[in-house]
């Protein structure tokens, strides 16, 4: 049985799109009644994101999610701290922030074994990393622009509720992919908010420089 759900933001809760699809960088809501649906997930939900804490809080506010639905936010700063604490400085330069580095802290903080943790993300590499490090259930969220360049690719959030209810606690050694669907960018999905201002934060600048360095030295 699931004891904890780790939830990514980008591609799962929202998607941030840029011109020419919108006038300027903007956060788009992916799910209607998200607070009600996540309220039906009867385990703690913790956001796990590569975004800074400031960006993550802005996204949660835009989506109308509060501490009633989300127990905590684990942001890029926390992953970085965990990496430095464990002496992974070279791996940090070589691979960037791996979300699995936070798992010992999650286990300690919530008293839950990683085999009882479910994780949903829109990036295959993040899910593979977490599976290789022992989580119980890895769920891939379809996300992006549709082929027509006008609509978005997303999924029905209720699938997550059903998956967690049906999961019997046995570790699933492969990634499960949610069924995709196309959604139009309706007016209610538009927040008018973008994270471009937050990108000037010193922490986000450091992340960009780190990616540049890895590219220059030919690492992944």
The tokens describing 202, both together, are: 């010193």
Q: What is the pLDDT of residues 89-108, one digit of tens each?
A: 555 556 578 999 999 999 99
The whole model's pTM is what? 0.87
Cα(146)–Cα(210) distance, rounded to whole angstroms? 31
Q: What is the pLDDT of residues 179-205, one digit of tens each?
A: 999 999 999 999 999 987 555 455 554
The domain over range 4-217 is classified in CATH as 3.40.50.1000 = yes
The full set of domain ranges for the chain reads 4-217
Contact between 97 and 83 under an 8 Å Cβ cutoff? The reply is yes
The tokens describing 85, both together, are: 């604490």
List, in order, residues 6 or more apart from 84 with CB less than 8 Å away: 92
Q: What is the pLDDT of residues 117-127, one digit of tens each?
A: 999 999 999 99
């Amino acid at each position: 049985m699931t004891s904890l759900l780790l939830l990514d933001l980008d591609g799962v809760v929202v998607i941030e799109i840029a011109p020419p699809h919108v006038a300027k960088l903007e956060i788009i809501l992916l799910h209607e009644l998200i607070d009600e649906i996540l309220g039906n997930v009867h385990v703690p939900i913790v956001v796990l994101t590569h975004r800074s804490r400031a960006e993550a809080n802005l996204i949660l506010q835009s989506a109308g999610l509060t501490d009633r639905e989300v127990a905590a936010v684990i942001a890029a700063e926390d992953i970085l701290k965990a990496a430095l604490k464990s002496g992974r400085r070279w791996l940090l330069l070589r691979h960037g922030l791996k979300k699995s580095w936070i798992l010992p802290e999650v286990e300690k903080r919530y008293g839950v074994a990683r085999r009882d943790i479910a994780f949903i993300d829109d990036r295959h590499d993040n899910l593979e990393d977490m599976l290789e490090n022992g989580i119980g259930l890895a769920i891939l969220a379809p996300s992006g622009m549709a082929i027509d360049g006008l609509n978005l690719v997303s999924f029905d959030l209720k699938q997550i509720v059903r998956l967690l209810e049906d999961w019997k606690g046995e570790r699933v050694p492969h990634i499960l992919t949610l069924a995709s669907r196309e959604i139009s960018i309706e007016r209610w999905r538009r927040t008018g908010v973008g994270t471009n201002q937050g990108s000037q934060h010193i922490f986000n600048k450091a992340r960009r420089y780190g990616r540049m360095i890895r590219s220059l030295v030919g690492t992944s």
